[in-house]
Chain A
Amino acid sequence: MYEVELALKVNGTEVSLRVPANTTLLDLLREHLGLTGAKRGCEQGDCGACVVLLDGEPVASCLVLAVQAEGHQVRTVEGLSQGAEMHPLQKAFVEEWAVQCGYCTSGMLMSAVALLEDNPNPSTEEVKEALSGNLCRCTGYQSIIRAVKKVTRPGGTLAT
């Protein structure tokens, strides 16, 4: 009972492994699966650097046990691009210089992707609300909001 058997989908791929029960979803991704896109920040759910999507909804992966994701679908920043082709939101982040040190970026991207998949044409207020759990300490919020707004589609859907 100190260890648990897990089967879950990560970026569309079935994963099965045995991990200690105290493994967080963030630990699972970074230490067991080699997916280091989600970052270890405050480890209290305050900073958003570790945000990934669990069944399509953003969660702080430092506060979720890996075993709680068992049987569910996890998406990380590594799953956004199609081969060498970046996701439109990633392109917009590059074009708008929405990255400085980059530590918050994967969490920002995942929170924004979840927003845009639910609501393809959000207002600036809705973008700010969706990103309110993601801290950027390089003071880059304006360019991040501009990048998200750039891929909104009036009446349409997020091109992926």
Chain B
Amino acid sequence: MGLPPFRYHRPATLEEALHLLERLGDGAVVLAGGTDLIPQIRSGAAHPEDTVDISRLDELRGLSVKGAQLHIGPLATHAELAASALVREAAPALAAACATIAAPPIRNSATLGGNLANASPAADTAPPLLALNATLQLSDRRRSRSLPIYDFFVGPGSTILEDGELITAVSVELPAYRSASVFAKFGKRNAMAIAVASVAVYVAVDPGSGAITEARVALGSVGPTPFRALEAERVLRAGTGGAAEIQAAATCAANATQPIADLRASADYRRLLASILVQRAITDALDRARAEGCQSCTK
């Protein structure tokens, strides 16, 4: 079935794109990889008069380390992020998540910025970026603002992005020397399945004692938005990472979920799954942080 007609624009620069988005207003949609947008246009969920193709804007590409931050251009595809040695070292949970999204033909097109802006509660890149304390730069023609990804998601399919505003950079803190981040998800099959529950965990440990110095736990697909389980994090930060503490943190995380029941799973099953995935992810992250840590990190 053909797509309904729309006008196509390919701005040559970011500035031109932001001008165009301001001028066109809410009848315009932003096209990057297209893997969410094209099905939405096809189904009628999106019905743009104008499509603004940002996929060739060099300003929105590139991976670099500046100071204690890894900067990721939002046009990075999931395939690029999964394959990048830099991302695998500096943001292992993000690389791991990107390697599990859909399947190669989608990963070659779909972008990080698109996955975030689409704001599915099941967006696989969201829990890792929450666990890695990512900062997003959002820009429209008039201003540019930076905010923690913690503040970005508002509800299913909804973010704080305003009309005419683009995600122009994604930054994550470089990990501490003895730290690890992991991603875990569960779906009905490994490829192409939308997650029933997903989890990302970042932990840092004291190089001497092995005690937990920082812990961040984020979940996806078990609430209206991806979210941090702050109570679970407090339980972990107060302790040494023993089995009872990990179990208590997993219970806190499960209590923080607000899962729906749908054709993929019941709410109770999602809550149980969240607890088990959190427990496994914390255990895995602690083992890795203590065994190897981030070898090239000096922070």
Contact = CB atoms under 8 A, between A and B. Distances in A.
A22 B6 contact: yes
B287 to A, nearest CB: 23
Nearest to B1: A43
Nearest to A70: B10
A159 interface: no
B38 A21 contact: no
B39 A1 contact: no
A23 B143 CA distance: 34
Given A43-B42, A65-B8, A65-B34, A59 B2 contact: no
A68 B75 CA distance: 14
A64 interface: yes
A31 B1 CA distance: 12
Interface string B104-118: 111011000000000
A44 interface: yes
B190 A22 contact: no
A21 B34 contact: no
A46 interface: yes
Nearest to A3: B8
B3 interface: yes
- Most B Cβ at <10 Å: residue of A51, A63, A134: A63
A132 B104 contact: yes
Given A22-B5, A132-B191, A63 B38 contact: yes
Interface string B89-112: 000000000000011111011000
B109 A21 contact: no
Contacts of A111: 104-105
Interface residues of B, number: 32
A51 B105 contact: yes
Contact of A133 (B7, B34, B39, B102): B102
Nearest to A68: B55
A57 B79 contact: yes
Contacts of B154: none
Given A63-B109, A68-B53, A133 B192 contact: yes
Nearest to B189: A132
A59 B105 contact: yes
Interface in A25-77: 27, 43-46, 48, 51, 54, 57-60, 62-65, 67-68
A65 B31 contact: yes
B58 to A, nearest CB: 14
Given A63-B35, A133-B191, A22 B4 contact: yes
Interface in B24-42: 31, 34-35, 38-39, 41-42
A68 B190 CA distance: 29
A10 B55 CA distance: 21
Interface string B13-28: 0000000000000000
B53 A44 contact: no
Interface of A: 1-2, 4, 20-22, 24, 27, 43-46, 48, 51, 54, 57-60, 62-65, 67-68, 111, 114, 129-130, 132-134
